[in-house]
Chains A and B, each alone.
Chain A
Amino acid sequence: MKRKGLRFYAKIYFKILAQDLKSKMSYRADFIISTIGMIFTNFAGFISFWVLFRNFPSINGWGYYEMLFLYGFSLISLTPVQCLFDNNWNLRQHVYTGDFIKYCFRPINTFFYYQSEIFDIKGLGQLAFGLITLIYSWVKIGLGFTPLMLLKVILLLISASLIMIALQNAAAATCFWIQNSFYVLDLVFRLKDYAKYPITIFNPIFRFIFTIFVPIAFIAYYPSLAILRPNEASILSWLSPVISLFFFMLSYKIWMCGAIRYSGTGS
């Protein structure tokens, strides 16, 4: 079979996307409530952040605006996983009920087809929230602005989001082996809340774990370091695009390995 090109996949993606949006629009109340719920989540996150910093002016040498930068950065880099890869949350049900087999019979990439089925618009609220936070802290710290810096921050944001996507793919894919992957997914989902803290607060063992095994340090800390404190940034910060690409490919392989292994339920 001929390998299909990028254009082919882009065309298909938008076709599936349009279908998904149409079906979402038929549940308008659900859509509006979910969007409000998402705004609530971000707002509550910000309130906890603010309450915390009212009592403690700095954490481990990181001031209010620097922490706000990390926070905004993590919010933006968590958006793509929310918008584009939300179907991972349903994977365990598809696998459990046997519905998953339908994705295996399409003449296109299974992973691509599965993930493109759902586009979660409400994640865009988070993007807006994150952008405002990031720009506000950027101005307050006085980082200045050059086109090169913009390019750098975009590249770093993309690589940071790839890390979270990789984590979620791998967590969701565990259901091919252990049936109920909810707790694995939930754990990753909860741990990502700690991505907004500098990795230096952990002891060496956990620093190692959060860099190599559950690389949440790449969601905000390492990439932000390259912008906030370029002098302190280690090689890991500059390498984060390569590292995230590696983790993404790894998670893709794990996911596909599970999908190929999948034998259906017989129904």
Chain B
Amino acid sequence: MKLKKYLTLTRAGIMETFQFRLSFIVMIIGNLLYLIVMYFVWSAIYASSNNDIINGMAFTDTLIYLVLATAQFNLMEMYIVWEIGNNIRSGRIVLDLLKPIEYRKYIFWLFSGGVVSHFLMTFLPTFIAVAIATHGAISMGINLLYYLLSVVMAISINYSIEFIVGTICLYTESIWGINIMKQVIVLLLSGATIPIAFFPEPLKAIINYLPFQSIYNAPLSLLLDGTPAAETVLSTLGTQLIWCIIMMVISKVFWKVSLRQITVNGG
């Protein structure tokens, strides 16, 4: 059973999160506080404007978009770059490479437990809370299914990007710098800090050709669109799928090539 060995890793991950209950609670409270602050900032921003709808987004749309972007960030951010980087620094990576499982898969399944527990403990409650708070501004239809599908692909793309950036650590021995660059680029160009709809046209055109908008903007715009046209859904999900495959191939090939580079001191 191939899947069984992966799921064992997932279970271990879930158990690990619940081991640190106190920090988990602190995280949930902190998140709540952060979301409330976000609510105030954006309601003030919208209140200062003369229009109710800006760039095709009403206040509730923007709020849902940004709140769920934060929830998605918590769900997807697995600190893979730190894991790989620290393992390279300490030399422990040798032990992981010896395991009878591909390293890329191993790390993914190792962290999948964290994703599952975050989904249940933070993502779902946030989703329900924002759905209630905005009085049904999220239409509950087929778009939920699209959203779910889209998030799964977003997780995959995000993981590939993290893995690529983690691989760069083999060359640079820099973790903080590499990681912060990745985070800044991904969060800005994916629309996680400010919805893509707000960006000026030329910038939007460039962003559309990059993989990052598939991580946050694509799933969230599918969710907010209550009556999606088949065309939009197909093109959005199709673009995501293509990026999914491209990034996966790049991360695999890059890792394979880079592995020859590895130098471990003792270990």
- Measuring CB to CB, which residues of chain A are less than 8 angstroms from any residue of chain B? 27, 29-30, 33-38, 40-41, 44, 47-48, 51-52, 54-61, 178-180, 182-184, 186-187, 190-191, 194, 197, 201-203, 206
Residue pairs across A and B with CB atoms within 8 Å: the count is 114
How far, in whole Å, are A36 and B181 apart by their CA atoms in the complex? Answer: 8
Extra inter-chain contacts (20) besides given A37-B176, A44-B193, A55-B49, CB under 8 Å = A30-B176, A30-B177, A33-B172, A33-B177, A33-B181, A36-B181, A37-B184, A40-B180, A40-B185, A47-B188, A48-B188, A48-B193, A55-B198, A60-B44, A61-B48, A180-B20, A180-B22, A183-B26, A201-B40, A201-B44
How far, in whole Å, are A186 and B23 apart by their CA atoms in the complex? Answer: 12
B234 contacts A by Cβ under 8 Å: no
Instruction: Specify the chain B residue showing the minimal Cβ separation from A30.
Output: B174
CB neighbours (8 Å) of A38 from chain B are 177, 180
Interface size class of B (residues with CB under 8 A): 35 or more
* Interfacial residues of chain B within 24-49, with CB under 8 A of chain A in the complex: 26-27, 30, 33-34, 36-37, 40-41, 43-49
CB-based contact B30/A41 at 8 Å: no
Scan B151-179; emit 1 where CB is below 8 A from any A CB, else 0.
Answer: 00000000000000000000011101111
CB-based contact A202/B40 at 8 Å: yes
Instruction: Specify the chain A residue showing the minimal Cβ separation from B27.
Output: A183
How far, in whole Å, are A54 and B228 apart by their CA atoms in the complex? Answer: 28
How far, in whole Å, are A145 and B188 apart by their CA atoms in the complex? Answer: 36
CB-based contact A58/B48 at 8 Å: yes
B262 contacts A by Cβ under 8 Å: no
CB neighbours (8 Å) of A59 from chain B are 44-45, 48
Instruction: Specify the chain B residue showing the minimal Cβ separation from A33.
Output: B177
Instruction: Specify the chain A residue showing the minimal Cβ separation from B34.
Output: A190
How far, in whole Å, are A212 and B207 apart by their CA atoms in the complex? Answer: 41
CB neighbours (8 Å) of A186 from chain B are 30
How far, in whole Å, are A206 and B39 apart by their CA atoms in the complex? Answer: 12
CB neighbours (8 Å) of B173 from chain A are 27, 29-30
Centre residue among B36, B48, B172 by max chain A CB count within 10 A: B48
CB neighbours (8 Å) of A37 from chain B are 176-181, 184
CB neighbours (8 Å) of B47 from chain A are 60
How far, in whole Å, are A30 and B27 apart by their CA atoms in the complex? Answer: 30
Instruction: Specify the chain A residue showing the minimal Cβ separation from B30.
Output: A187
B18 contacts A by Cβ under 8 Å: no
How far, in whole Å, are A178 and B24 apart by their CA atoms in the complex? Answer: 11
B200 contacts A by Cβ under 8 Å: yes
CB-based contact A184/B188 at 8 Å: no
CB neighbours (8 Å) of B235 from chain A are none
CB neighbours (8 Å) of A201 from chain B are 40-41, 43-44
Instruction: Specify the chain A residue showing the minimal Cβ separation from B173.
Output: A30
CB-based contact A55/B54 at 8 Å: yes
Give chain A nearest CB distance to B60 CB in angstroms: 17
CB neighbours (8 Å) of B34 from chain A are 187, 190-191
Q: A30-B177, A33-B177, A183-B26 in contact; A40/B184 too (CB < 8 A)?
A: yes
CB-based contact A183/B184 at 8 Å: no
B261 contacts A by Cβ under 8 Å: no
